[in-house]
C-alpha cells in the first residue's frame, strides 16, 4: 500500500544558514540506519522523503525510525501526482472498513498549487462523503487523512508516528561519557546524543568487586543505548591498582573525591586520543555526597576540557521516568558493585577543599597510573 515515508524534523527547521548541514547529516544517518532495506533518501522542502522498495519491511523500518535523533515524526505514505483525481483515488484506498467518521488535513509547501489547503480539504471531504457516506468529525474522527502538497508530488497518509526529536547524532562532535552501572549516566548519555553528540563510553571497574560476569550488565546498558547511534565504542578501565595507590595516601573520607578525579583524568586522556570535544557525566546536584557544589568543583578542576552535565537540575523521579522510557532502568537496578564506594568512609566529606586534596595526591604518580590504565583498557565495539 505504501511507497514512501515522509520524515518531518523539528528543531532543524528553525536553523538558519546552517540548516542544510543538519539536513544532510540526518540524511546520512537515515541511510546508515536503513542500509539493509534498500531505501533511497531525498530532500524535499521542509521534509525528507524515503522511497520504499520493499513494503514487507515496514515494521522493521518503523522501529529504526523511532530511534533516530533529529526526527520529530514520520508517516508511511502513498506518493502520487498533484492531480486532484489521483489524490482522491489514494484516499479511497486508505479508508478502513471500520471508519465511520473522518477529517482531511491538507498542507502545501508548493504555493503554486491551484487550490488552497482549505479548498482542498473541502473538495476531498465532499468526495469521501459522496463515495463512502461517511461523516465529518473535526475533533475525534475514526480516521484522519493527511495530504501534503509538495513541488512535484503529493503524499497521502493516515498516521503520524512520533520519534525522539533533538538533533542528528554527529552534528555536535564526539564526547566521552563516564558511564557507571547506575541509573543516571545512561540517561545523561541519551541526552548528549539527543543534542547531536556521538558518544564514546568509558567505564571503570575493580575486579575485586566486579567479576567479568557482572560487567555484562554494563555492556547490556551500552548495547541498549547503541540503537540511537550507529557506531558505539566502550572503554573498560581496570581501576583496582589505582585505588590501591589512592588508599595508601588519602584518608577514607576523601577517597571518593580522588577516585573521581582520577577517572576524569583518564577520560580526558581517552578524549584526546579520540579527538573528542567534551566529557559527559550523570552528575545530579546534591543527590549524593560526591555531587555537592564543593565536591564537583574539586573534581572538575582536575581536567581542562568542557564537562557536560545534562541531569544537573533533574530530580531523581524525573531521571527514573526517563530511564524507564529509554529501557535502561531495569538493567541499571541489577546488582553491581560501584568502585567509587570501594573502601571509603561511612560518611564521606561533602565539602572538600582543592588544596587539601592536592596535598593528599602529592606522593601518587598520577601520570604513570593514568597512562597504564589507558594502555591496558579493553575496547568493545557495537554496531547498530
Q: How many domains does the chain have?
A: 2
Are residue 58 and residue 113 in the same domain, yes or no? yes
Domain membership flag for residue 185: yes
Are residue 156 and residue 178 in the same domain, yes or no? no
Other beta carbons within 10 Å of 56: 7
Range of the domain at 252: 173-383
pLDDT at 161: 98
Other beta carbons within 10 Å of 362: 8
pLDDT at 303: 97
Query: Of 107, 132, 162, which residue is a domain's last?
Result: 162
pLDDT at 1: 80
Are residue 153 and residue 230 in the same domain, yes or no? no
Are residue 150 and residue 177 in the same domain, yes or no? no
Domain membership flag for residue 54: yes
pLDDT band at 44 (very low <50, low <70, confident <90, very high): confident
Domain membership flag for residue 167: no
Are residue 212 and residue 79 in the same domain, yes or no? no
Are residue 39 and residue 18 in the same domain, yes or no? yes
pLDDT digits (tens, 9 = 90+) for 105-122: 999 999 899 999 999 999
Residue 337 phi, psi (nearest 5): -75, 125
Domain membership flag for residue 240: yes
Domain membership flag for residue 168: no
Q: How far is CA 264 from the centre of its chain?
A: 23
pLDDT digits (tens, 9 = 90+) for 178-209: 999 899 999 999 999 999 999 999 999 998 88
Are residue 55 and residue 189 in the same domain, yes or no? no
Domain membership flag for residue 132: yes
Q: Check pLDDT > 80 for residue 384.
A: no
Are residue 158 and residue 183 in the same domain, yes or no? no
Q: Check pLDDT > 90 for residue 157.
A: yes
Instruction: Please compute the mean of the pLDDT values over residues 73-81 and round it to a whole number.
Output: 97
pLDDT band at 94 (very low <50, low <70, confident <90, very high): very high
Task: List the one residue out of 315, 307, 297 whose CA is nearest residue 351.
Answer: 297
Q: Check pLDDT > 80 for residue 129.
A: yes
Q: Check pLDDT > 90 for residue 50.
A: yes
Q: Take residue 337 and report the three cell numbers written for it.
A: 558493585
Q: Take residue 83 and report the three cell numbers written for it.
A: 492531480
Are residue 105 and residue 228 in the same domain, yes or no? no
Domain membership flag for residue 295: yes
CA quadruple 82, 121, 51, 172: dihedral positive or negative?
A: positive
Q: Which residues contact 240 (CB under 8 A, 6 or more apart)?
A: 206, 207, 208, 339
H-state helical runs in the chain: 19-33, 58-65, 84-94, 117-132, 184-194, 215-225, 240-249, 255-274, 293-300, 316-325, 329-332, 354-360, 366-375
Percent of residues, the chain, with pLDDT higher than 70:
100
pLDDT at 186: 97
pLDDT at 237: 95
Q: Are 167 and 72 in contact (CB under 8 A)?
A: no
Are residue 149 and residue 214 in the same domain, yes or no? no
pLDDT at 102: 98
Comparing 82 with 336, the larger pLDDT belongs to: 82
- Global pTM value: 0.94
pLDDT at 312: 96
For residue 91, the domain's CATH number is: 3.30.2130.30
pLDDT at 352: 93
pLDDT digits (tens, 9 = 90+) for 314-335: 999 999 999 999 999 999 998 8
Other beta carbons within 10 Å of 289: 18
Query: Of 105, 138, 162, which residue is a domain's last?
Result: 162
Q: Are 19 and 45 in contact (CB under 8 A)?
A: no
Query: Of 133, 162, 191, which residue is a domain's last?
Result: 162
pLDDT band at 38 (very low <50, low <70, confident <90, very high): confident
Q: Which residues contact 56 (CB under 8 A, 6 or more apart)?
A: none
Instruction: Please compute the mean of the pLDDT values over residues 140-162 and round it to a whole number.
Output: 97
Note the maximum CA span of the chain: 88
pLDDT at 296: 96
Q: Are 377 and 237 in contact (CB under 8 A)?
A: yes
Are residue 192 and residue 308 in the same domain, yes or no? yes
Are residue 183 and residue 154 in the same domain, yes or no? no
For residue 207, the domain's CATH number is: 3.40.50.620
Instruction: Please compute the mean of the pLDDT values over residues 69-84 and round it to a whole number.
Output: 97
Task: State the Cα–Cα distance between residues 135 and 145, nearest whole angstrom.
Answer: 13
Amino acid at each position: 500500500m505504501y511507497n514512501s515515508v515522509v520524515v518531518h524534523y523539528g528543531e532543524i527547521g528553525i536553523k538558519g544558514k546552517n540548516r542544510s548541514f543538519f539536513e544532510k547529516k540526518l540524511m546520512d544517518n537515515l541511510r546508515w540506519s536503513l542500509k539493509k532495506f534498500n531505501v533511497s533518501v531525498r530532500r524535499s522542502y521542509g521534509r525528507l522523503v524515503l522511497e520504499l522498495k520493499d513494503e514487507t519491511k515496514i515494521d522493521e523500518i518503523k522501529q529504526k525510525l523511532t530511534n533516530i535523533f533529529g526526527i520529530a515524526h514520520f508517516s508511511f505514505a502513498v506518493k502520487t501526482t498533484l492531480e486532484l483525481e489521483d489524490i482522491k483515488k489514494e484516499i479511497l484506498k486508505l479508508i478502513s472498513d471500520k471508519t465511520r467518521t473522518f477529517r482531511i488535513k491538507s498542507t502545501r509547501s508548493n504555493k503554486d498549487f491551484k487550490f488552497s489547503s482549505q479548498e482542498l480539504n473541502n473538495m476531498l471531504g465532499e468526495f469521501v462523503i459522496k463515495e463512502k457516506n461517511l461523516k465529518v468529525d473535526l475533533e475525534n474522527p475514526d480516521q484522519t487523512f493527511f495530504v501534503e502538497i509538495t513541488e512535484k508530488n503529493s503524499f497521502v497518509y493516515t498516521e503520524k508516528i512520533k520519534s525522539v526529536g533533538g538533533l542528528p547524532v554527529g552534528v555536535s562532535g564526539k564526547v566521552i561519557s563516564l558511564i557507571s552501572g547506575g541509573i543516571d549516566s545512561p540517561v545523561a548519555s541519551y541526552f548528549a546524543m539527543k543534542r547531536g553528540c556521538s558518544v564514546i563510553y568509558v567505564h571503570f571497574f575493580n575486579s575485586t568487586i566486579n567479576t567479568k560476569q557482572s560487567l555484562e550488565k554494563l555492556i547490556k546498558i551500552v548495547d541498549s543505548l547503541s540503537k540511537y547511534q550507529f557506531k558505539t565504542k566502550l572503554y573498560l578501565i581496570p581501576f583496582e591498582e589505582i585505588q590501591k595507590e589512592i588508599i595508601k595516601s588519602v584518608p577514607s573520607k576523601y577517597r571518593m573525591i580522588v577516585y573521581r578525579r582520577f577517572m576524569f583524568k583518564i577520560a580526558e586522556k581517552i578524549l584526546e586520543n579520540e579527538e573528542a570535544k567534551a566529557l559527559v557525566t550523570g552528575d545530579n546536584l546534591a543527590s549524593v555526597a560526591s555531587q555537592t557544589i564543593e565536591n564537583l568543583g574539586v573534581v572538575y578542576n582536575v581536567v581542562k576540557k568542557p564537562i557536560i552535565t545534562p541531569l544537573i537540575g533533574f530530580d531523581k523521579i524525573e531521571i527514573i521516568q526517563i530511564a524507564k522510557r529509554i529501557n535502561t532502568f531495569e538493567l541499571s537496578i541489577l546488582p553491581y558493585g560501584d568502585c567509587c564506594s570501594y573502601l571509603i568512609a561511612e560518611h564521606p566529606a561533602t565539602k572538600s577543599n582543592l588544596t587539601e586534596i592536592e596535598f593528599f595526591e602529592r606522593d601518587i604518580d598520577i601520570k604513570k597510573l593514568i597512562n597504564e590504565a589507558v594502555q591496558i583498557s579493553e575496547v568493545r565495539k557495537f554496531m547498530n
